Structure 1
């Protein structure tokens, strides 16, 4: 027999019989036999979408008096040695299996039911309500099962991400990413057979909880693989799923859904602990660590990379973006774009003259901040590459961060004057039009930037990146 907080599975010969417990957790109520019967039939119908040969039907349980007293889902018994969680724990090579699972889920989601009622369950507000419902159910376990500080950090990070990302969730709905999915994708319920994976046990008791973003659906299994000690398989699953489904989701959303699914399992573990399974407390803490890790990684950031000409800011900005999967907006490029010029075309002029006069500069910074705001609302971390000499412009960028609930990280690149002069003298093919003379003038016209982290950029690119990443973390 295998037991969960809501049911038990009896393995008998070639068959498995699944019983629903007569429990009421608020988010489900199985206390009435008629409800359990209805849910059993629904479970069979829904699970035949991904495992048509495994689900045989529903059997009635009769008591000594001949009256029906309960119901069982009847299934073919799967080979225990082919359970995905078993294979992961044994360290089997599973890359091909994971790729196939990603392809199966992408195809399943492509064919899945969609519609306004389903999409309504994946708005920003709906996702926030799911988080908050789980927070409320877990709160009584703070300080006993869970570390109260970790639980508080999870709540704070989740709320902050959602507060600034309504546009992201609307975009996901508008691009058809919300489906009637599986809802409970776990490695224990997947069997890797020769003719393909058998994916069992979808969430059947509440249609609204099965109406999810496809990425959210698959993130559940990716999170579970991480919990089993194979985070690289979880990353592979999400990478291939996004490839096969053509999903360009930002890294922040990916981490957010991984954290959400981990916290769902925190809640389940707490409920099992309350039912008397004391070992579930350690499991709840493991899941909480996964949740907080991904919420930290998924934090949306607005990174200002500033400094004088040839201080290495563009090199550093690009390196940061490549490492963390961010978008770079470069003032030199946008300035010329707004003027209708190719980025590579020279616009050299005197100090604060021509394309670099105050009006063009003001327009450039306004545009870079506008684009940054749009990207931040869509969950993209943004790196803004500009000199950031003006305290007022830095303050305006900070307001964009506040409005989009994004963490502002100011980085000031610095190298000795001899280094920057040598770089300017050797520069070819740059889209920057700065000259040594202009660099000297700019150096005398920089507002103090006391809250910036200084990155020493006279060394290697790797050294500069290491410093910057330490500040980001």
Structure 2
């Protein structure tokens, strides 16, 4: 006969007392208790029932533990080991993995350094660019193996998701009701604009069984590599979402922590390594980011129910997420940025540094000619291409593809930043024509530096997508660049100096203003 929730709760208290006596550290969440014991962690589902999950019986908790292993082991095999029973012997004593009667089940995991989760690292300082790119690659890899979900339920669930957020944010009266209502209405308007896009993305296979909860606390650095863990196991529907919505949680959280550069790099690296069709879905990003911020605000407010918490700090944190949700749902108009210059002038570094300052958040989509050329030939960024790959007809194809992808981005209401040499007037003229056609303002920068500086920079490159050599740089000195027509920028100094020279020419939408 199945045990009642009351009986299960009483049994769990015995189990928790048993594990605590072993000198473990206990961490409680609304649905689980984790016991840290040396190099091992035991995660036990609490005997609770919520509208979105039911762990009220032993059988359901065992099944949930097994599902957590099944979902998370492909993402984090170094963390997730097995499901282990907590057993009761005939004398009433409890054991971990004993031969007695199972009275509880736990997910046995390898313990990791809790200070190496991305939320802790983001609080400690600026995240390295390489780490942000690695996180993007890990998320992209998880989406590549995620099962495609053939159902219209995801798109149909979004209105109730928006309304559920609104209801949750009203609880406790900590946020202004009129502002919550305004966010709710703006979210529904945004959904109405993109519903057909979301439905098409669902038909294309971009709705998958994803992680579902990719905030920074669920990404940890182990052996210098980011690992995704604690994916949602209790409800397949909650985790069966558009992959861009899954990505949006990590991007949003980086913005909340003031990590604009990392957010932009993660976003751009993900787009660079996944199908180009994602560019046609960027119109959904403001809503996705805003919903994720609102969810986080609601989750933070739920912490007020726990004992011995700093209520002022919690409310301030929730208000910061809510303010971010408000800002994200009303993105600024898109613009086109073009960065040109001969090899070694620092175009790609400037583009990467400039992108976060160009709204909408998390920054402009960077379209780099060097990486696109490698994609067209199906080789890795660091693999060198033969001279034939730089024939005029191939280069023309590269520039045409850059323009087409920029058109896709701008059509979705997002800004595009194109990084290419732009040595010929027709190439630059094409950018002006593209901006006019898309009704977007164009800002063009043409970087200049002396040959010695350019060659020195090229010689220091490692694992870069550019195939330029010192000899190529010397040949470029003879180019007939013609009338540039863009802002000519002295790029002979540091990258920061070049950025400063360009910064005053671009209206900056700083996400750091949203942290509250």
Which category of TM-score, normalised to the shorter sequence, fits these structures?
A: 0.5 to 0.7
The equivalent position to 1:18 in structure 2, one of 43, 48, 63, is 43
* CA–CA distance in structure 1, aligned partners of residues 333 and 183 of structure 2: 12
The equivalent position to 1:145 in structure 2, one of 171, 174, 183, is 174
The equivalent position to 1:199 in structure 2, one of 228, 239, 254, is 228
Q: Are 1:224 and 2:253 matched, yes or no?
A: yes
The equivalent position to 1:239 in structure 2, one of 265, 268, 288, is 268
SS at match of 1:202: coil
Q: Identify if the C-alpha distance between structure 1 residues 145 and 323 changes in structure 2 by more than 3 Å, giving closer, same or farther.
A: closer
Matched ranges for 1:450-461 at <5 A: none
Q: Identify if the C-alpha distance between structure 1 residues 171 and 380 changes in structure 2 by more than 3 Å, giving closer, same or farther.
A: farther
The equivalent position to 2:305 in structure 1, one of 266, 269, 274, is 274
Alignment match, 1:70: 104
Q: 1:34 deviation in Å?
A: 1.9
Q: 1:39 deviation in Å?
A: 0.7
Alignment size in residue pairs: 322
User: Highest CA radius of gyration, 1 or 2?
Assistant: 1
* CA–CA distance in structure 2, aligned partners of residues 208 and 298 of structure 1: 32
Q: Is the 8 A contact 2:201 2:281 kept in 1?
A: no
Q: 1:33 deviation in Å?
A: 2.4
Alignment match, 1:439: none
Q: 1:10 deviation in Å?
A: 1.5
* CA–CA distance in structure 1, aligned partners of residues 30 and 264 of structure 2: 29
* Aligned CA-pair RMSD: 3.6
Q: 1:92 deviation in Å?
A: 5.2
The equivalent position to 1:94 in structure 2, one of 128, 131, 153, is 128
Matched ranges for 1:462-473 at <5 A: none
* CA–CA distance in structure 1, aligned partners of residues 250 and 229 of structure 2: 12
Q: Specify which structure has the bigger relative contact order, considering alpha-carbon pairs within 8 angstroms and separated by 6 or more residues.
A: 1
* CA–CA distance in structure 1, aligned partners of residues 242 and 38 of structure 2: 38
Alignment match, 2:470: none
* CA–CA distance in structure 2, aligned partners of residues 59 and 101 of structure 1: 30
Q: Identify if the C-alpha distance between structure 1 residues 199 and 62 changes in structure 2 by more than 3 Å, giving closer, same or farther.
A: same
Matched ranges for 1:89-168 at <5 A: 89-91=123-125, 93-117=127-151, 120-123=152-155, 125-141=156-172, 144-168=173-197
* CA–CA distance in structure 1, aligned partners of residues 196 and 333 of structure 2: 16
Alignment match, 1:213: 242
Q: Are 1:283 and 2:314 matched, yes or no?
A: no
* CA–CA distance in structure 1, aligned partners of residues 317 and 49 of structure 2: 22
* CA–CA distance in structure 2, aligned partners of residues 230 and 195 of structure 1: 19
SS at match of 2:53: coil
The equivalent position to 1:56 in structure 2, one of 81, 98, 103, is 81
The equivalent position to 1:255 in structure 2, one of 262, 286, 300, is 286
CA shift digits 1:281-322 (9 cap, x unpaired): 333222111111111227999xxxxxxxxxxxxxxxxxxxx9
* CA–CA distance in structure 2, aligned partners of residues 323 and 270 of structure 1: 31
* CA–CA distance in structure 1, aligned partners of residues 27 and 288 of structure 2: 28
CA shift digits 1:58-113 (9 cap, x unpaired): 12223536653322111001123432222222225421111112112212212221
* CA–CA distance in structure 2, aligned partners of residues 35 and 82 of structure 1: 32
Matched ranges for 1:318-329 at <5 A: none
* CA–CA distance in structure 1, aligned partners of residues 246 and 203 of structure 2: 18
Q: Identify if the C-alpha distance between structure 1 residues 98 and 249 changes in structure 2 by more than 3 Å, giving closer, same or farther.
A: farther
User: Which ranges in structure 1 are unaligned for 5 or more consecutive residues?
Assistant: 302-321, 326-374, 383-408, 410-461, 467-473
* CA–CA distance in structure 2, aligned partners of residues 381 and 241 of structure 1: 16
SS at match of 1:165: helix
Q: 1:465 deviation in Å?
A: 8.8
Q: Is the 8 A contact 1:186 1:220 kept in 2?
A: yes
User: Which ranges in structure 2 are unaligned for 5 or more consecutive residues?
Assistant: 1-25, 94-99, 336-356, 361-407, 416-438, 440-502, 508-516
* CA–CA distance in structure 2, aligned partners of residues 179 and 260 of structure 1: 18
Q: Is the 8 A contact 1:131 1:260 kept in 2?
A: yes
